[in-house]
Amino acid sequence: MSAQHPVVFVTRRLPEAVEARLTRDYTPVLNVDDTPFAPAELVERVVNAGAEAVLCCPTDKMSADVIAALPNKVRALATFSVGYDHIDLTAAKAHDLIVTNTPDVLTDATADCAMLLLLAAARRAWSAESLVRRGDWTNWAPTGQIGTQVSGKRLGIFGMGRIGQALAKRARGFDMEIHYSDLAPLPLDQEQGAVFHADPEELLGIAEFLSLHCPLTEDTRHFLDARRIALMPDGAIVVNTARGPIVDDEALITALRGGKLAAAGLDVFDGEPKINPGYLALENVTLYPHIGSATKETRDAMGFVALDNLDAVFGGRTPPNRVA
């Protein structure tokens, strides 16, 4: 990097340690109030800052129009996330804009969250805690708050990447039988006894628990729809810590309300932070506000990876996590 620190526009408030490194190595324009910017305001602030890079987050919709409006001096978009479906990569490439992400470092935290949601959904955690908090728990009952046994059940993992494999590792501790579907089978040493299903609908047919870990693409958008839910065993449980639009909300809500599915645990939603209000009336769904990576260790690491990428850009090197 040059003696004069590059100006980096930061769209959201970041962890203290990350902002400290930013301040040391760059001239950051920070979002002290942590208020998300509308697209036009974001562009205006980037222009006014004279920014040479933007450190953005999944809440920032970097559409083709936004990217086209960015000044030419902006060299990179470093997103504070592993997912980058909020960035129009085609537009970025057309404008010679480098795009980077932060993979690997959030694997364990997200897998922990998926396992937490799986257990919470199976054992009616939200319903049970609400009973206590409302003061409605009057006595122990043999038929009260009956959930679903986890141990020994078949877990279907749709998307067996780093997070899917990390979840499988945790689920084996509960003696779950691991099945998965992906574009190709894992090497045998990585499968560790998991059963591969080339056809994801075959996976659905045997999945007593289903955890979604695939990327959001046009092929996976609304993957879990009414037709595919009908393929699942009665009383199955769904967990989603990947991307909200992978699930057809109306279909999932109908299945939860009608008893086809016993429960669900969701950390991501289509259109978040606004969610389908149908979920709010259901006691058999656990709802988290997209906190899969929300540990201090993980969020610090994500920020440091984003800065490693920017260090490479301004140091004339190829960023380690370039996606465009």
Catalytic residues: 243, 272, 290
122, 126, 252, 287 from 280: Cα distances, Å? 18, 12, 13, 9
Cα–chain-centroid distance for residue 43? 26
User: In the chain, how long is the greatest CA-to-CA distance?
Assistant: 71
Which residue type does 229 have? I
Which structure tokens are listed for 103? 């993979």
- Cβ–Cβ under 8 Å, residues 298 and 109: yes
What does 173-202 look like in DSSP terms, one character per residue?
TTTPEEEEE-SSPPPHHHHTTPEE-SSHHH
- In DSSP notation, 208-250 reads SEEEE-PPP-TTTTT-B-HHHHHHSPTTEEEEE-S-GGGB-HH
Q: Rounded to an integer, what distance in angstroms lies between the CA atom of residue 95 and that of residue 98?
A: 9
CA 113 to chain centre: 10
Counting beta carbons within 10 angstroms of the beta carbon of residue 4, is it exposed (0 to 12), middle (13 to 18) or buried (19 or more)? Answer: exposed
Structure tokens at 131: 């009973």
CA 292 to each of CA 22, 41, 76, 268, 296: distance values in angstroms, whole numbers, following the listed order: 24, 28, 26, 9, 12
CB within 8 Å of 223: residues ≥ 6 apart: 158, 200, 212, 214, 246, 247
